[in-house]
Structure 1
């Protein structure tokens, strides 16, 4: 099997959510695996000078329209959350704890549950009382996960992971790196597939 694809995302990113519904199938078509990396865009924006799309004049209104249009185009369930965007530190740290204690496959299952809760059900994933039941639903002890997510070790790991991502040139969500080639945005998945197919673009 060829080198794994690195998939970076923020749980508050609609485009990151859309990508999360497609990346595994895309990678499998080319005998690839995927490494999922939760990020905090707010931290990265301190480096890039960026800001959440909805806060930007003109561009924000367009983005809100494009989220819904993109979801319809790709047949992806999507409902704009009432609280959007929101901080995702807890969700990101919880995923890292699940990966560390239960393995990557269970962490991906958890990540998909978080995305679905937020972008389909409109759940406020900033709340431990929301995140906890998502863990219970996939066979993970909620209390242990919340405690682990709030541990100094996991907080430090997330900080280090984000620093490492920025060092690789990651600045948005979704952001995919395949064989050293970076692709920013869900709208670059056609180019990503062409690259995986031919090894060049």
Structure 2
């Protein structure tokens, strides 16, 4: 069985949001599935010494321009959030709780809904009440999710998963690992596709028989009829 693509993301990451709209489709194209891993960049930054791009002198204003430009270029819905940066701990824990109790598909749908809420609807996803509202349309017992995401078990699980991610070299969002090969950033998705393409098994092509029609390079079909026998125009 082909290994899953590991997708690491923080809900406060605009580039992580952009990646979230493409990663599943790209994986499916090459017969892969995606394992979604919520992380907290605040924890990672304590090791790397980094900070959210909009808060970095000189880089900050450029980053806001690039978020909008990237969204336009790829045709992705985006609205600059007024609640930014913001804590995403409860949302990350909620994803883990859903993975544990409702499975990956429901958890992924919720994660995409949270991203859309922040970067399209400008909803403050740091508020537990807003997460409850996002869970209900998915048929989730939102209050059970809220309680579970606040429990010590999920808190410890998120902490442990971030430690595992960092041990694998994860230091940003989005961060993708495929067959041990790491890719950081939404601007690496062309390279990700090239990597997936190189790993795809070669397709077997039937060899046409002597009497079969053959296909030309432009997609038209060649005929076995002898053109010299065709009636020429007067």
Instruction: Identify the TM-score tier after normalising by the shorter chain.
Output: over 0.9
Q: Could you say which residue in structure 2 is the equivalent of 1:180?
A: 180
- Matches for 1:33-52 after TM superposition, within 5 Å: 33-52=33-52
Tell me how large the CA RMSD over aligned residues is: 0.9
Which piece of structure 1 moves more, 179-188 or 53-62? 53-62
Measured after TM superposition, the shift of residue 142 of structure 1 is 1.2
Give the Cα separation in 2 of the matches to 1:196 and 1:58.
36
Measured after TM superposition, the shift of residue 129 of structure 1 is 1.1
**Aligned with 2:50: secondary structure?**
coil
Give the Cα separation in 1 of the matches to 2:75 and 2:133.
27
Q: What is the number of equivalent residue pairs in this alignment?
A: 200
**Aligned with 1:3: secondary structure?**
coil
Give the Cα separation in 2 of the matches to 1:183 and 1:192.
7
Give the Cα separation in 2 of the matches to 1:183 and 1:199.
15
Q: 5+ residue gaps in structure 1?
A: none
Give the Cα separation in 1 of the matches to 2:113 and 2:198.
33
Deviation string, structure 1 residues 5-43 (Cα, Å, up to 9, x no partner): 000000010000000000001001110000000010000
Q: Could you say which residue in structure 2 is the equivalent of 1:129?
A: 129
Task: Give structure 1 regions of 4+ aligned residues with deviation exceeding 3 angstroms.
Answer: none
Measured after TM superposition, the shift of residue 199 of structure 1 is 3.3
Q: Could you say which residue in structure 2 is the equivalent of 1:191?
A: 191
1:158 aligns with 2:182: no
Give the Cα separation in 2 of the matches to 1:101 and 1:199.
33
Q: Could you say which residue in structure 2 is the equivalent of 1:117?
A: 117
Q: 5+ residue gaps in structure 2?
A: 201-234
Give the Cα separation in 2 of the matches to 1:143 and 1:11.
21
Structure showing greater radius of gyration is: 2
Give the Cα separation in 2 of the matches to 1:199 and 1:57.
41
Give the Cα separation in 2 of the matches to 1:100 and 1:111.
14
Deviation string, structure 1 residues 169-188 (Cα, Å, up to 9, x no partner): 00000000000000000000
- Matches for 1:1-201 after TM superposition, within 5 Å: 1-199=1-199
Give the Cα separation in 1 of the matches to 2:17 and 2:91.
14
Measured after TM superposition, the shift of residue 2 of structure 1 is 1.3
Deviation string, structure 1 residues 139-188 (Cα, Å, up to 9, x no partner): 00111100000000000000000000000000000000000000000000
Give the Cα separation in 2 of the matches to 1:126 and 1:83.
9
**Aligned with 1:83: secondary structure?**
coil
Give the Cα separation in 1 of the matches to 2:141 and 2:119.
23
